[in-house]
């Protein structure tokens, strides 16, 4: 189904900015196609090999729920979503959405889009788990200075701002639908302390050392090349305050074609996970160090937390 202009962009985004987004989309598509053609010719470049997998079990069957694990896969998503403390957070995010709806202000779906039909039930369920789990175990407090990577205009970011946090999002608006402009506009209209900066995640972060108490990145780092991922993690370790917590979710798609980006990240490929994520950051795992990953032929979704000593 073809997207319409009215559903692609919020109505308050200026026409000149929409023209800019369309121009940038053409440039990006052209550059991406060129990289894909090159990758098909010479093979993918810039990726750390996955290495040997380490699986809890390989044959599908029931695995006991490690209820004390905060670094965990979404194998137990339904059990987690039923927890009262998780339900309370989800209810809070829904309350923030209602505030925005009442003022005809927009927030994105899990596809980083404003298009209503892209709000699928299952994808929103997964996103609810990611958001609530990351929030619950990052111990967020009112007034904290928070950095988000790749989540401009998400309901989660607006929820953080609604809770009284100062939120800064780094996002390059890969979908070219105005999410950076929208986050700044919504923050101003709602009187929230939130802003978005249009910037690639692989670039140096424009912040001083030890600047943020909390960092969130929901399903973003798996969509970077290994060099960009490592650069980002070094920067996140630099700007996080001592005692601060960085919360992440990540996925792995067995069906994803490896050209410009790899299949993602998962705990079972522990060597790559540490090489690309944990070690460059200079941070340590916050919580359990045993990372459960099962069923290598299935896709993966998980959340993990890093802390700065």
Torsion, Cα of 182, 184, 187, 192 (10° steps): 150
Please answer whether residues 231 and 202 qualify as being in contact, where contact means their C-beta atoms are separated by less than 8 angstroms: yes
Report pLDDT for 8: 87
Q: Is the pLDDT of residue 216 over 60?
A: yes
Instruction: Render pLDDT for 68-124 as a digit per residue (tens, 0 to 9).
Output: 999 999 999 999 999 999 999 999 999 999 999 999 999 998 878 898 766 678 888
Report the DSSP beta bridge partners of residue 252: 264, 300
Q: Cα dist. 230→226, 235, 280 in Å?
A: 6, 9, 6
Domain that holds residue 109: 5-307
Report pLDDT for 157: 98
Kindly state the tokens that stand for 68: 């004390």
Report pLDDT for 45: 76
Element (H, E) at 231: helix 226-239
- The neighbour count for residue 74, using CB atoms within 10 Å, is 20
Q: Is the pLDDT of residue 33 over 70?
A: yes
Instruction: Render pLDDT for 249-274 as a digit per residue (tens, 0 to 9).
Output: 999 999 988 887 889 999 999 999 99
| Average pLDDT value over all residues in the chain | 93
Strands, E assignment, 118-204: 145-149, 166-171, 194-198
* CATH code of residue 229: 3.40.50.150
Average pLDDT, stretch 270-281? 97
Report pLDDT for 113: 87
Please answer whether residues 213 and 146 qualify as being in contact, where contact means their C-beta atoms are separated by less than 8 angstroms: yes
Residue 203's Cα: distance from chain center in Å? 17
Which segment of 31-35, 43-47, 133-137 scores lowest on mean pLDDT? 43-47
Q: Is the pLDDT of residue 130 over 50?
A: yes
CA nearest neighbour of 198 among 234, 227, 237, 169 = 169
Report pLDDT for 1: 42
**Of 81 and 32, more confident:** 81
Domain count, the chain: 1
**Of 213 and 51, more confident:** 213
Q: How many CA atoms within 13 Å lie on the side-chain side of 35?
A: 14
Q: In angstroms, what is the C-alpha Rg of the chain? A: 19
Q: Cα dist. 74→8, 150, 251 in Å?
A: 31, 21, 10
Residue 35 binned pLDDT confidence (cut-offs 50, 70, 90)? confident
Q: Tokens 């946090």 label which residue? A: 165
Kindly state the tokens that stand for 124: 């929103």
pTM above threshold 0.75: yes
Please answer whether residues 172 and 224 qualify as being in contact, where contact means their C-beta atoms are separated by less than 8 angstroms: no
Kindly state the tokens that stand for 100: 């925005």
Report pLDDT for 268: 97
Report pLDDT for 236: 99
Report pLDDT for 48: 81
Average pLDDT, stretch 20-43? 90
**Distance between CA 37 and CA 282 in Å, rounded?**
36
Report pLDDT for 88: 98
Report pLDDT for 2: 44
**Distance between CA 71 and CA 249 in Å, rounded?**
10
**Distance between CA 80 and CA 78 in Å, rounded?**
5
Average pLDDT, stretch 198-208? 96
Q: Cα dist. 195→105, 214, 242, 263 in Å?
A: 15, 15, 23, 31
DSSP string, 41-86: HH---S-----S---S-SS-------TT-SSEEGGGHHHHHTSHHH
Kindly state the tokens that stand for 7: 């559903």
Q: 248 in helix, strand or coil?
A: strand
Instruction: Render pLDDT for 4-16 as a digit per residue (tens, 0 to 9).
Output: 556 689 999 999 9
């Amino acid at each position: 189904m073809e997207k319409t202009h009215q559903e692609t962009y919020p109505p308050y985004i200026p026409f000149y900015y929409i023209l800019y987004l369309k121009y940038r989309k053409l440039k990006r598509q052209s550059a991406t196609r060129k990289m894909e053609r090159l990758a098909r010719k010479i093979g993918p470049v810039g990726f750390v090999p996955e290495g040997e997998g380490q699986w809890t079990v390989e044959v599908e069957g029931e695995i006991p729920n490690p209820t004390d694990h905060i670094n965990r896969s979404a194998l137990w998503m339904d059990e987690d979503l039923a927890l009262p403390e998780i339900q309370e957070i989800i209810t809070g995010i829904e309350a923030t959405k209602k505030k925005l709806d009442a003022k005809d202000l927009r927030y994105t779906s899990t596809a980083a889009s404003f298009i209503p039909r892209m709000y699928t039930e299952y994808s929103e369920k997964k996103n609810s788990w990611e958001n609530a789990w990351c929030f619950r175990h990052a111990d967020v407090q009112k007034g904290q200075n928070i950095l988000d990577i790749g989540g401009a205009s998400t309901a989660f970011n607006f929820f953080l701002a609604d809770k009284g946090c100062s939120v800064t999002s780094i996002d390059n608006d890969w979908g070219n639908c105005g999410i950076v402009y929208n986050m700044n506009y919504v923050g101003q209209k709602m009187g929230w302390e939130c802003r978005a900066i249009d910037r690639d995640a692989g670039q140096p972060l424009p912040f001083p050392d030890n600047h943020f108490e909390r960092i969130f990145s929901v399903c973003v780092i798996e969509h970077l090349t290994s060099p960009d991922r490592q650069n980002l993690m070094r920067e996140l370790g630099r700007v996080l305050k001592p005692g601060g917590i960085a919360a992440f979710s990540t996925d792995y798609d067995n069906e994803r074609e490896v050209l410009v980006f790899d299949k993602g990240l998962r705990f079972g490929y522990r060597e790559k996970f540490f090489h690309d994520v944990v070690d460059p950051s200079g941070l340590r795992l916050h919580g359990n160090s045993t990372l459960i990953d099962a069923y290598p032929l299935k896709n993966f979704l998980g959340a993990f937390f890093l802390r700065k000593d």
